[in-house]
A and B are shown apart, each in its own frame.
Chain A
Amino acid sequence: MLYFIIAHSAEAQPVIQHFKMQRVYKFSYTMFEADNVRLIICNTGIDNAMMATSVLLAHYIPTSNDLLINIGICGAPGEIGTMLLVHKITHNHHSCFPDILFKHDLQEISLKTVDTPCVSRSDNAVDMEAYGIYKAASRFFKAHQMVFLKIISDNFQPESITKEATKRLISSKIAIIQNTINQALSIFNKDDILSSQEIESIKNIAKKLTKAQNDALLDACRYYKLHYKKPLPQIDIQPFIAKTTKQQRSAYLNELIQTLTR
């Protein structure tokens, strides 16, 4: 699942169109969804960003296969329309660091999140939400699961930005955004060694076992799959049902674990 946190509708619209998302009415935020994609409009500022991110992620608890993407325009030195990938976000002397572990051709930057629009020239790119998004999202995502993409909209003349120009800027970068998402997802590790069917079949046996015995069986199954690099053999529940005493079940389980790990 992709989770987009975007400050304004004008910034979100090209993304909504690209992923063919539909409006949904879940929370008191403007939200859109499609298969495997959710987008929330958080509005301007750190507090708004933090609240919207928390609301979204606390409701749909993300997994280790999910990715959070913040896309938006920013003021920065440099050519208007340049796409930037953020490796450090600073706010009031506090910093956080998304892990960029994938290959890319984008320009990387340190971003400063400010509380009011920045009208004076700065060496850093500036925005008004990224720090709040990172702080809230880091409760749910690991550092490599968060991608902050910024497009230079102005060289510290925020009054020059229009909604139409913003839409054009984001639209022009949508292919790069998609490519960056693909790259970011390509380095993720598999969620579990066991398939959902395998977990399901072990669950049936688990009813006959203690928590510790079940953990030991799951470990042995994971060992088998990683060591022999082949699917788990069918584990028959019948012997567990047939064994009437705890001692018998325990002895059978030990035999099974020995077989799987020999």
Chain B
Amino acid sequence: MNLSKLSHAELFSHLYIEEEVKDTPLAKETAKKFSKSKIILIKHYKDIFNRPNQDFGVQCKSKNLILAKKDAPFLYKGSFYSDGFEFENFFYTPLVLGCLYDCQYCYLSGMYNSANSVLFVNTQDFFQALSPFLKKPTLVAISYDTDTLAVESLASLTKQWIIYAKNQPNLHLEVRTKSANFNAIKSLTSSDSIVLAWTLSPQQIIDLYEHKTPSLKSRLNSIKQAIDSNWQVRICIDPIIYNEDFYSLYPSLIDEIFDTIDADKLFELTLGSFRMSSTHLKNIKKLKRSDLAFYPYDVNNNIVSYGKTKEQHILNIMLQKTMQYLPKSRIRTWQLQS
């Protein structure tokens, strides 16, 4: 089931709204959009989202939405597990907690008790918290513990951030997504300080592990539209999942990408093989739903991965293949960062 095929009314059976935000325009508008959802008033989003006795796996079958007001902190230091692109100030900001998609390898399923999503309505407070840092070049990942563009029709968060960033010369944004929702921001003009980053996987991997996400073809179409509208686009083949079909699936993915996308117009491409904190993996194992959780990974400094040798092998193969289309200077690999 692809989310884009669902109407708003079918998406969330229950809408939990903090009493404090129930009269905000966004809450009222959201309640109107989800007219068939049961609305339940709550005191604090943590009363729902952080309940100890939830089942992430079962909740994935019927995800619900929580509308809330975020209290400080609004910014978090970028994680070791992701690329900070050499920015001295690298933050991520939790505009939404949780993701509508259900990717079996995602650390969110090992990090949160709940498969529901929390949408924070106080976007202006995030901007205010960021402003003291903007004396220096600052990268903010706005799609970190979520996929912001996937929920764009709910709150236009990506749009608001892009408009804000255009007036802040030191602010650089990365909007990472698996959605095929470029249309939602198509009306905005591109900016050199904003990178739209699409995570891509071979269609077979999408079918196996990236539940409820758009197909590779529709993501590629969205990327093409973004490039044609002069946006800087980063393609992220990350995480690369190693299995018996790796050698046929992933090199073909590179061919498929550059059959659709003009390599000269692509900002860059990043490669990274699967890795995760061992604590998150331990929690994901408890869900007992994906083979990826049970692979005999190497564990080093609380990070599980395919191990240095296999990781290097995976990245070398992918690097060589990508270099048929892109110069090495426009290819990044996560391993080089570590």
Interface residues of chain A, those whose CB is within 8 Å of chain B, are 64, 87-88, 95, 97, 99-102, 108, 110, 138, 141-144, 187-190, 192-193, 216, 219-220, 222-223, 226-227, 257-258, 261-262
Contact = CB atoms under 8 A, between A and B. Distances in A.
Contact of B294 (A64, A99, A222, A258): A222
A143 B54 contact: yes
Contacts, number: 80
A261 B14 contact: no
Contact of B54 (A102, A142, A189): A142
Contact of A189 (B47, B55, B294, B296): B55
B251 to A, nearest CB: 20
B296 A87 contact: no
Interface of B: 13-14, 16, 38, 40, 42-43, 47-48, 51, 53-55, 57-59, 61-62, 243-244, 285, 288-291, 294-296
Contacts of B40: 87-88, 97, 110
Contact of B58 (A101, A227, A261): A101
Q: Which 4 A-B pairs have CB atoms at the shortest separation, nearest pair first?
A: A226-B291, A223-B294, A227-B291, A101-B62
Nearest to B294: A223
Contacts of A64: 55
B276 to A, nearest CB: 15
A120 to B, nearest CB: 22
Contacts of B42: 95, 97
Contacts of A101: 13, 58-59, 61-62
Contacts of A188: 58
Contacts of A110: 40
Given A144-B55, A189-B58, A261-B296, A97 B288 contact: no
Given A138-B53, A142-B58, A95 B47 contact: yes
A147 to B, nearest CB: 14
A104 B38 CA distance: 12
A144 B285 CA distance: 20
Given A95-B47, A100-B13, A193-B288, A220 B294 contact: yes
Contacts of B62: 101-102, 187
A219 B296 contact: yes
Contacts of A138: 53
A189 B57 contact: yes
Given A110-B40, A220-B294, A261-B295, A227 B243 contact: yes
A14 B39 CA distance: 32
Nearest to A229: B291
Contacts of B288: 189-190, 192-193, 222
